[in-house]
Amino acid sequence: MKYIRSRVPGAYYFFTLVTYNRRKLFLESQNCELFMQSLDYIKENHPFDLFAYCLCPEHIHMIWELPENDHDFSTRLRLVKSFFSRHLEVELKYSKNPSRVRKVELAVWQRRFWEHFIRDEKDLTNHLEYIHFNPVKHGFTYSPKSWVYSSFHRFVEEGIYDESWGEGSDMNYLDKVGKE
């Protein structure tokens, strides 16, 4: 059966991108910065609003809002992944001589991505909470506020979340979010 993606202009979409073989590329801050630069670069010619995000070591969750008369998130995601991959410097030592290093081309991303059309306010709230609680869920941190590469901090500044949101919480209801 062929999967058919939602195509609603001007809508909000939730995405999950996963690195190839779940390599922990986003433990290094320069890779996180490069990914954010990739988003900014692509937005120049293919606008969208990065509504929410969280960069975990081997995967990324985002919510985008597309322009009013545009539904083409696939092109944007392809361009973001491509820009990031081209600019990521991956060096491997291929001999016993540490001074001899060559750059090699490696797969950076899993081939596909997960996409979910945000249906309504409740769906948006559930996906926002899923994104911001994700580092805690995976045991990367004890609290969303301590995870640097997340839009959680912007949501706190805007008064949407309290700074202690998600600390010690039982958020089992989020288990089904992102898997629709």
Is residue 24 in a domain?
Answer: yes
Report the chain's C-alpha Rg in angstroms: 17
Concatenated DSSP letters for 34-68? HHHHHHHHHHHHS--EEEEEEE-SSEEEEEEE--T
Q: Taking residues 98-116, report their average pLDDT.
A: 73
Does residue 3 have an active-site annotation? no
Q: What are the tens digits of pLDDT across the range 26-36?
A: 999 999 999 99
Q: What are the tens digits of pLDDT across the range 118-172?
A: 999 999 999 999 999 999 999 999 999 999 999 999 999 999 999 999 987 667 6
Amino acid present at 79 = L
Selected catalytic residue, list 13, 130, 149, 161: 149
> What is the pLDDT, as a whole number, of residue 1?
55
> What is the pLDDT, as a whole number, of residue 96?
47
pLDDT at 52 over 90: yes
> In which domain, by residue range, is 112 found?
12-176
> What is the pLDDT, as a whole number, of residue 156?
97
φ and ψ at residue 38, rounded to 5 degrees: -60, -45
Are 61 and 130 in contact, with CB atoms under 8 Å apart? yes
Could you tell me which residues are beta bridge partners of residue 101?
Answer: 93
Domains held by the chain: number: 1
Which phi-psi region, left, alpha or beta, contains residue 10 (left: φ > 0; alpha: ψ -120 to 50)? left
CATH of the domain at 29: 3.30.70.1290
Greater confidence (37 vs 92) lies with: 37
Amino acid present at 85 = S
Greater confidence (179 vs 41) lies with: 41
Is residue 93 in a domain?
Answer: yes
pTM equals 0.85
Which phi-psi region, left, alpha or beta, contains residue 40 (left: φ > 0; alpha: ψ -120 to 50)? alpha
